[in-house]
C-alpha cells in the first residue's frame, strides 16, 4: 500500500508542476502589459546605425490609446519635424507637412529607414496578432514561439524570452514564414516608470545586413487613464 501511494504521488508531480506554470496566453498578455499598456504618453528616441557607419536619430512624442490607436509627432531631426504617424486599427498613415496630406504606410515597411518596422513601433499588441505556444522553459526565462494570425502582423514567426522573475522581455528573434531570421532584439535598461517596470532600451539588429542596427530608447513614459479620441483621427494630423 505504501508503494502504491508513493507511485500515485509521483505520478501527480508533473501535473502539479504544469498547473503552476503560466499558460502561453498569460505570458503573451504579460508581454503586452509591459511593452504596450492600454494608454500612455512617452518620448522615444530611435537611432539608426547604417552599413556605411553613419547614424540618424529621430526624437518623437507618442501617444497610445487602447489596443488599436497610436500617434507619433516627430521633433527631430529638423528634416522630419512636423511629420506625424497615426495608426487606427489595421490602418497606418504618415503625415507629410510639405504635402499637407497623409499617406498610407504598410506595417512591415521600415520605420524611418531603421531596423524596426512600422508595426514594431505603432502596433504593440501581440495578443491580437499572434498565436502563442510555450517552446521551452529555461532556468531564468520562459521561451515563447509566436505564429502570426494575419498578414498585418509585424512578422510571420517570433521567439520571445520572458523573465521568470517579472515577465519582462529579455530578447527576441523575428523570422519569415520560411524560417529565415530577419532581426534579433535585446531588451535592456529596465526602469520603473511610475509603477510600470519595463525596458527603457530595445536594440534591434539586422540579420540580413549585419552591419546595421537600431536602438529605441524611452526618455519618458507615463501611464494614462484615458486619452482624447480626437487625437487619433486623420483630420487632426498637422494641427
Q: 94-140: per-residue pLDDT in tens?
A: 999 999 999 999 999 999 999 999 999 998 789 999 999 999 999 99
Per-residue pLDDT tens for 201-221? 999 999 999 999 999 999 999
Counting runs of H as helices and runs of E as strands, what totals does the chain give? 4, 13
SS (H, E, C) 58-79: EEEEEEEECCCEEEEEEEECHH
Cell of 230: 480626437
- Residue 231, classed as helix, strand or coil, is helix
Q: Which residues are CB-contacts of 99 (< 8 A; sequence separation ≥ 6)?
A: none
What CA–CA distances, in Å, run from 65 to 33, 87, 89? 13, 10, 11
Task: Give the CATH architecture of domain 22-236.
Answer: Clam (2.50)
Domain boundaries along the sequence of the chain? 22-236
Cα–Cα distance measured from residue 200 to residue 218, given in angstroms and rounded to the nearest whole number: 5
Q: Which helix (H) or strand (E) holds 131?
A: strand 130-137
Confidence grade of residue 20 (pLDDT, cut at 50, 70, 90): low
Amino acid at each position: 500500500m505504501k508503494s502504491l501511494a508513493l507511485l500515485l504521488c509521483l505520478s501527480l508531480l508533473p501535473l502539479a508542476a504544469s498547473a503552476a506554470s503560466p499558460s502561453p496566453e498569460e505570458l503573451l498578455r504579460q508581454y503586452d502589459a509591459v511593452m504596450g499598456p492600454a494608454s500612455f504618453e512617452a518620448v522615444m528616441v530611435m537611432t539608426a546605425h547604417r552599413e556605411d557607419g553613419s547614424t540618424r536619430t529621430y526624437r518623437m512624442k507618442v501617444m497610445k490609446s487602447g489596443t488599436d490607436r497610436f500617434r507619433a509627432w516627430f521633433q527631430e531631426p529638423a528634416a522630419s519635424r512636423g511629420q506625424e504617424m497615426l495608426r487606427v486599427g489595421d490602418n497606418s498613415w504618415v503625415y507629410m507637412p510639405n504635402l499637407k496630406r497623409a499617406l498610407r504606410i504598410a506595417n512591415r515597411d521600415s520605420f524611418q529607414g531603421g531596423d524596426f518596422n512600422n508595426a514594431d513601433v505603432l502596433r504593440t499588441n501581440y495578443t491580437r496578432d499572434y498565436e502563442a505556444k510555450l517552446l521551452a522553459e529555461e532556468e531564468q526565462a520562459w521561451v515563447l514561439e509566436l505564429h502570426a494570425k494575419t498578414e498585418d502582423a509585424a512578422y510571420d514567426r517570433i521567439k520571445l524570452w520572458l523573465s521568470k522573475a517579472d515577465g519582462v522581455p529579455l530578447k527576441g528573434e523575428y523570422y519569415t514564414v520560411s524560417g529565415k531570421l530577419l532581426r534579433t532584439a535585446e531588451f535592456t535598461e529596465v526602469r520603473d516608470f511610475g509603477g510600470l517596470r519595463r525596458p527603457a532600451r530595445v536594440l534591434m539588429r539586422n540579420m540580413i545586413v549585419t552591419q546595421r542596427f537600431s536602438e529605441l530608447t524611452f526618455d519618458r513614459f507615463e501611464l494614462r487613464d484615458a486619452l482624447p479620441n480626437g487625437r487619433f483621427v486623420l483630420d487632426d494630423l498637422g494641427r
